[in-house]
Structure 1
């Protein structure tokens, strides 16, 4: 770990986040959905570079039309990793809104926040997802409901597969595979009771973090047939992502 490296990266990241907030306030009202999407994707790519994250990609995200991206969840970096591939609206826990700077940025990027303590949370979020699908947008979902170290998957909550199922929207699983100095690692994982500040210290102060985003074949696409039940869709998505997380490829990007 390097204090100098941490300070340099944190300073650059803070400036970049502030610029992102300025873009949301000053530009987004005037540049339309396509312009906002272009800004989001390229801004996310620069952010990952500033954080020292090496990214690689396997497979291709569905490039047009509405889609539900279903991914495992390891770090606060996950949102930017998927946005770097295609501009995506995320379903995220409401606590993220209170994070300093990053929370304001995520809120300004059209994030759908779920109040997990609310009885009507799933219904409200489902309605918001359907609105995004109607605009031909991609929606990102972390169905584990929380982060994990990245070697395995927690159980999937399949309730939020229903808006895509009802709307006849393609569902594409994504596996995010994390490495540290070329080996599978939970070095960047943001799990348990760890604070965001402590995680930033480790990620920004260290080196060698790399992530491979594996875009898998859609588990369902509208073809005129009825979609499987949401429980079945959740099982299929979890199964194919799990196969990519099995640490058979312990050596990766360094």
Structure 2
């Protein structure tokens, strides 16, 4: 057996084992509304990152302000574990994810908020659910590009859910903090990824999940940086979206060129 294939199995088997143990525990926690519904995913993601060999460097910090909407770029399926290991939070994801075998169940147990992008009426419903989670103390993560990229750039942020979520908070969402975040994949096996190598870690376009997951595991340890920006003050949805997008783009550029500082 080749070293890469052996590594895949050494990672997959314990991940499957802890997943099978964690699913009933998290299901019960969510069903009963227990505090562990927030801590079990946190612990799970930390174990997964350790097994996969993902090393995370954090620049800045998640805002302690509540309600909190974290607006981020999106690069890979790894983003979920990388962010989920930092603090208890909820994600917003496209409705199709709920139907993916295995992944859909895990997303539901993470208390993910699903949005149907084919339905115009869905925006208001999702916004109200986002507002309810934020009012309950859960930061909500919105991948504002609406899709994932190759990791070398930040795509245009969409303003609809940002504005709708703030409006659903009441008083135009003036009490909700919006914090921009840049996720940057910078290295693998201790070596810089570079512009050419970074898309090998990124999961985007029409890539199939399973082959990409196995290839990432085979290649080895990944270095990722989370750059948390300054929370934005009150502004209309378009202005807030533009400012968050520009902040994420600036932070990503700094991370990928090595110019970012703690």
TM norm structure 1: 0.89
User: How far 1:191 sits from its partner (Å)?
Assistant: 0.8
- Work out the CA distance in 1 between the residues paired with 2:28 and 2:135: 25
- Work out the CA distance in 2 between the residues paired with 1:62 and 1:139: 12
User: How far 1:12 sits from its partner (Å)?
Assistant: 1.8
Q: Let me know the Cα RMSD of the aligned residues.
A: 1.9
Secondary structure at 1:95's aligned position in 2?
helix
Is the CA contact 1:129–1:139 (under 8 Å) kept in the aligned structure 2? yes
- Work out the CA distance in 1 between the residues paired with 2:19 and 2:103: 7
- Work out the CA distance in 2 between the residues paired with 1:148 and 1:250: 21
Question: What is the correspondence of 1:32-181 to structure 2 with a 5 Å cutoff?
Answer: 32=34, 34-63=35-64, 65-162=66-163, 163-164=165-166, 166-167=172-173, 168-181=175-188
User: How far 1:14 sits from its partner (Å)?
Assistant: 1.8
Look up the match of 2:26: 24
User: How far 1:249 sits from its partner (Å)?
Assistant: 1.4
User: How far 1:22 sits from its partner (Å)?
Assistant: 1.6
Higher share of residues assigned helix: 2
Which sections of structure 2, spanning at least 5 residues, go unmatched?
Answer: none
Secondary structure at 1:2's aligned position in 2?
helix
Which among 202, 206, 210 is matched to residue 193 of structure 1? 206
- Work out the CA distance in 1 between the residues paired with 2:229 and 2:199: 22
Equivalent residue pairs, number: 244
- Work out the CA distance in 2 between the residues paired with 1:139 and 1:30: 21
User: How far 1:74 sits from its partner (Å)?
Assistant: 0.4
- Work out the CA distance in 2 between the residues paired with 1:173 and 1:11: 35
Q: Are positions 1:217 and 2:218 aligned together? A: no
- Work out the CA distance in 2 between the residues paired with 1:198 and 1:190: 11
Q: Are positions 1:231 and 2:206 aligned together? A: no
Residue by residue over 1:211-235, the C-alpha shift from the partner in whole angstroms, topping out at 9 and shown as x without a partner, is 1111111122xxxxxx211111111
- Work out the CA distance in 2 between the residues paired with 1:134 and 1:27: 20
- Work out the CA distance in 2 between the residues paired with 1:194 and 1:35: 34
Secondary structure at 1:148's aligned position in 2?
coil
TM norm structure 2: 0.87
Is the CA contact 2:179–2:229 (under 8 Å) kept in the aligned structure 1? yes
Is the CA contact 2:67–2:135 (under 8 Å) kept in the aligned structure 1? yes
Is the CA contact 2:29–2:36 (under 8 Å) kept in the aligned structure 1? no
